[in-house]
Chain A
Amino acid sequence: MTGLTRRAFLKASLAGCSALVTPWIAPSWAVAPSERITLGVIGFGPRCQHDLGCFLEEPDLQCLAICDVQSSRCQQARKLVDDQYGHHDCRVYRDFREMLARPDIDAVLIATGDRWHALASILAARAGKDVYSEKPCAITIAECQALAATMRRYARVFQAGTQRRSIGNFQRAVQLAQRGKLGRLRKLHASVYDPLARHDWLPAEPEPPREELDWDLWLGPSPWRPFNRRYVLGRGWQGFDDFTAGANLMDWGAHTVDLCQWANAADQTTPIEYEPAPDKIIARYANGVLLELNYGRRIPQQSHANLGTCAVRFEGDEGWVETGDDGIIEVHPPSLQSELRQWTQQRRGIDAASHARNFLDCVKSRAPTAANENVMLHSHLACFAAAIAWQLNRKVAFDPVTQQFPRDDEANRLRSRAYREPWRL
C-alpha cells in the first residue's frame, strides 16, 4: 500500500474549503490491483444501502463479499455490487465468520443491527481486518471499552459511522467553537430522539427456515427471545432495549453528542455529571461547559426553523452557531458571517461519501480516522452515561478516567450486560 495519494489529498484538502479544483476520479479498472482495498460487508439493511453505495463509488475499493443472515438481503446486495462491476463475482455468506476467514479481504463495513456492531468489529479486528462500523458502535459501556482496546491491540484502522465529522457545515461550526470565535464556550445542544426502552417481547411466530433467515445468528449475543417477523423487517428491532443502545438516545446522540464533544475539544474525556429533566438531559463537563441532550429531535433555542435533522448548537460568551443536516449555518453575531466566506457546502449530513473516503485513506496511511476508536469511545460513553441517568431517573456522576460511576453501585451495574452463550467479548 502506498502513502497518501495525490487524488486522496486533493479530496481531503477540499473539506471545508472552497473547491478550486475538481478531483479527477479514476475508474476502478484504472487502479492497479495492488492499490485496491478489498471490502466485505456484514449486514445489508437500509443504512448499508447508502454506505455501500458510497464505497462502491471509490475507484480504489473493490467489494468482494456480502454477508447477511437474511438470504433476501444477501441477494439484493449482491445484485448491487455485481451491477456496479459488471460481473458476478461477489460472494455471499450467511455466517460472517466464514467471510472473515478470507485472507483476501482487507476491510469490512459493518451495518448490521446495533446489537452486533461491537462483537462483529472485534472479531473482524482479530481476523486482521480494518473496520468501518455503523453507529452506535456498541450497546454498553463495556462493549465500547472492549472495542476500543481491541482496535488498539490489533493496530486496526477503525471508523465509526459518525459521518458528520466529515461534513462541511458541521466541521465549520466546530471550527468556530474550537478557534474561540464564540468566546468561551458555555453550553452545547445536541438534538436527540425521545428516550425509549422497550422490554416486551413480540408474540412468538414459527422461525423461518435457516436458509431464509438464521434467527439464532440474527440474535447473536442478545439474550434469547422467540422469533417475530417484525423484528427483522426494516428497522423493526429499534427501540427494544436488548437490540439497541442507550434508550434510543444513541440514534441521533451518537452524532450530535459526538459533535458537541468535538466542539468542546473533549475527544479524550466526557461530562462528569448527568441529570435528567422532563424534556432533556443536562450534562456538565469538568471545565464547566454544559451539554444538553434535547428530546424531540429539536433544539428549543434554535433560531433557524429548518436546520434539518441532527441539529446542534454551540453557545459561547461572545456568540453562537447552529447547524444541521440541511447544511444551513446560522451564527451570531452577524460579524461571524465573515468566517463562513469562501465556503460552499458539498454534502448533506446523512451522506457518508467523505467519511468513507477518509476511512480508505487511513487504511492506506495507517493514520487515525476522523471518528477513530478513541473518539468513538468517549462520545459513546457520554451518551451511555446520559441514558443511564434517564433509566435510573436521577442524577449520576461519571469519572471519565476510570470510566465508572463513583460510589454508585446501581449505575455501575448497567455498564455491561451478559452475552448470550456461547458469545463473549
Chain B
Amino acid sequence: MLSVLLAAGIALSTTGPETDAAKLLALLRSDAPPAEKAIACKHLAICGGKDAVPALASLLADEKLASWARIALEAIPDKAADDALRDAVGKLNSKLLVGVINSIGVRRDARAVSALAAKLKDPDAEVASAAAVALGHIGGRTVAATLTPWLGRAPATVRPAVAEGCILCAERFLADKQYAEAAKLYDAVRKANISKQKTLEATRGATLARQSNGLPLLLELLRSDDRAFFNMGLRVAREMPQRDVAKLLLAEFQRAAADLQPALLLTLADRGDAETLATATEAAKSGPVNVRLTAIHILERIGNPSCAPVLLGIVAEDDAALSQAARSVLTRLPGKTVDDGIVALLKQPGANARRAGIELIGARRIESALPALLPIADDATVGAASLKVLGDLGGVAEIPALLDLLAKTRSGAVEAALATLCARQTDRAACADKIVPALANADRPVKLALLRVLRSVGGAKALAAVRAAATDADTEIKETALRTLCDWPTADALPDVAQLARTATDPKWKILAVRGQLRLIPQQNISAEQKFAAIKDLTPLLERAEEKRLLLAALGEIPTADSLALIASYLKTDLKEEAALAAVAVAEKIVQKHPAAVANALREVPNATSDKKLANRARQLMQQARKK
C-alpha cells in the first residue's frame, strides 16, 4: 500500500491503512528501505502520537533519516517528543546534534534551557550557535539572563548567533508587550561587538520597544550619515503608530537634503497621517524636481479636489515630466470644480497650459467644454489637439461648426475630426442630415473631403449622396465617390460595388470593387452557403496575391465544407500560410458536422505552416474528426 502511495502523487490522507500508526511504527523498526521509512515519518507527522516517539527517536542518529524523523518529532505535540529530543542532546554530536537542537528551538522546550546553556560552551561553533538561536526561540527572562553575558564572552564565530538569539528573545518580549525587558535586551545587543546588520536590527527593536520614548532614537537614525541607518529609520517610522512620528518626519523632511526628501515624504505618505496631503501638495509646488515628482506621485494616491489648483499650475510648466505627472493626477480627480479649473486653462496665454487643458478635457470627457474648443480649433499651436478632442467627444451639435471650419481651412485635421465624430454617433441619419446638404454648395476640395467623411456616416441617405457623386462630371469627384463606395462600411453598397466590378474598364476600379465585395459579402444577412456562392463567383476576377489573400480571409469567416475545400486548394501555393490559418478557423466551426471534410482538408496544414501552434491545432482537429 505504501509503495503504491509512493509511486503516485497523492494527498497525505488521514484515513486508510497508511494512517495506522502501529503499522507505520512497525515499518520504521523494520529493514524497509529508507524511502518507505521517510514517507512513514511524514505520515506520523500528521497522525503520530506519544507511542511513535521512541521509534522516531531511534532514527535521530541516522544520517539519512534523522531529518525525516525530526519532521515528525517537531509536529507531535506530546511532551514525549520534547523528552526524546532533549535526551538526544547528550548522545549526538556535530550536524546531527545541531539538527536536534534546532528542533528543540522550534518546539520552544523551556525544560531544555539548562542543557542548551551548557552547549553554548561547545567547541563546535555550529553546535554552540544552534544552542544560542534555540534559546532565543524559547525566550523568557531566564534565557535573556543566560544569553546576555555571552554577547561579550562568545568567540567571534558564535557571537552572531548569540546576538540572533538575544534578538529573538527580545522580539518575543516585544510581542508580549514586555517593553522594558525587550529594550534592555536590544540595548545589550547594540552595545556588543557585532555586525552592522545586527546592530541595525537591534536598534530597530530598541526604538520600537521604547514606544513614544523611542523618538530620539528614531531621530538619530534619520539623521545618520550612514544610509543603512537612515533606511532603517524610514522602516521604523512606518512601523511606529505614534502621532508624534508624523511631526518628526515632517520636520526632518523640511530640513533634509534634497536627495533624502523623497524617501521621507514617501514614508509620511505610507503612514497615512493627516499631515501628508498638505505636505505633499506644498512640496509639489516648487523645489527640486525629484521631490516634486514624488509629491505628485503621492497626490495620485491620496489627492482630492483641493489639490487641483496646484496641479493646474504644474501642467503649464515646461518640464515635461512634471507636466505629465500633474496631468495624470488631474485625469483622475473627481468633481466639477476640477473640470472647471481644467476648462479655465483654455484661456491662459501659454500654449502649454492650453494644450494640457485640451488633453485633460479629452481624458476626462468634459463634454460641456466642447463649445470652448471650437473657437480654437484652427489655432496654429493648439488647433490639432482641439480637433482631436472634438472628434473624440463631439456630437451632432458640433457638426455645423466643423463644416464651417472645413470650408474655411480645407484642413485634413478637420476632415479627420468630422469622420471620427460621425463614426461614434448612434444616430448616423442625423449626421447625414447635416453633411449631405453641405455637399451641394461646397467647392471641390470640400466636396471631396465630405465624400470621404460620408463613409464614416454610413446609412441610406449618405449612400445615396455618394452614389449620386459617382456619376459627377468632375473626374476627381467621381473617383473619390467611387473609392468611397468601394470602402463603404456596410453591405447596402454591394450592388453599386458589384456593378462597378462588372462594368469598369480601368483595372484599378475592378480591383478596388472586388476588394470591396470580398469585404462586404460576409457581412450580409444571408446563409453561409449563399455567401460562399457569391464569393466563389469572384474567384475568376482575382489575379493578384493581395486579392487572393482577402479571398482567404473572407472564406475563413464562412463555416461551410465548400468554403473549407476552396481554402484547402491554396495550401500548396505561395499563400499557404494564409490558407492554413483560414482552414483551421473554418474547421474549428464545422468539425462536428463535417468531420470527413475537416480531416481531408487539414491534412496539408502542418506542412503548409511554420506556426507550430497552428499546426498543433490542425492535428488536434484531425484527431477529433477521426473519432467521429
Contact = CB atoms under 8 A, between A and B. Distances in A.
Interface of A: 1-6, 9-10, 12-13, 17, 20-21, 126-128, 149, 152-155, 195-201, 223-225, 239, 241, 247, 342, 365-368, 390-394, 409-410, 413-414, 416-424
A410 B293 contact: no
A414 B95 contact: no
A368 B320 contact: no
Contacts of A1: 227, 259
Contacts of B13: 393
6 contacts: A6-B321, A20-B327, A196-B9, A418-B103, A423-B102, A424-B98
A5 B259 CA distance: 10
What 3 pairs between A and B have smallest CB-CB spacing?
A: A3-B262, A421-B99, A155-B235
B200 A155 contact: yes
Nearest to A151: B235
Interface stretch (B60-68, B241-249, B596-604): B60-68
B130 interface: yes
Contacts, number: 183
B519 interface: no
Interface of B: 5-15, 34-35, 38-39, 42, 45-47, 63-68, 70-71, 73-77, 95-96, 98-99, 102-103, 105-106, 126, 130, 133, 167, 171, 196-197, 200-201, 204-205, 227-228, 231-232, 234-236, 239, 259-263, 266-267, 270, 289-291, 293-294, 297, 300, 320-321, 324-325, 327-328, 331, 363
A198 B259 contact: no
B197 A126 contact: yes
A224 B227 contact: no
Contact of B231 (A13, A366, A421): A366
Contacts of A342: 363
Given A198-B9, A422-B95, A410 B14 contact: yes
A198 B204 CA distance: 42
B196 A4 contact: no
A84 B176 CA distance: 51
A367 B270 contact: yes
A199 B102 contact: no
Contacts of A198: 8-9
Given A3-B291, A198-B9, A366-B263, A152 B239 contact: yes
A131 B236 CA distance: 19
Given A2-B290, A17-B328, A416-B106, A128 B196 contact: yes
Given A3-B291, A6-B290, A365-B266, A418 B95 contact: no
A200 B34 CA distance: 11
B62 to A, nearest CB: 10
A418 B71 contact: yes
A365 B259 CA distance: 10
A21 B10 contact: no
A4 B294 contact: yes
Contact of A421 (B47, B66, B105, B259): B66
B291 A424 contact: no
Given A225-B35, A417-B71, A391 B363 contact: no
A418 B70 contact: yes
Contacts of B105: 424
A390 B11 contact: yes
Contacts of B320: 21
Given A13-B328, A201-B38, A342-B363, A413 B46 contact: yes
B126 A422 contact: yes
A342 B260 CA distance: 35
Nearest to A129: B197
Contact of A422 (B11, B77, B99, B270): B99
Contacts of B96: 421
A395 B261 CA distance: 50
Contact of B297 (A9, A197, A424): A9
B35 A2 contact: no
A367 B266 contact: yes
A4 B293 contact: yes
A112 B15 CA distance: 35
Given A342-B363, A418-B102, 18 more contacts: A3-B290, A3-B291, A6-B289, A9-B293, A9-B325, A13-B297, A126-B197, A197-B12, A200-B35, A224-B68, A225-B35, A367-B270, A391-B11, A393-B15, A416-B74, A418-B99, A418-B103, A424-B98
Q: Which residue, of B6, B7, B38, B300, has the highest number of chain A Cβ atoms within 10 A? A: B38
A398 B239 CA distance: 26
A344 to B, nearest CB: 14
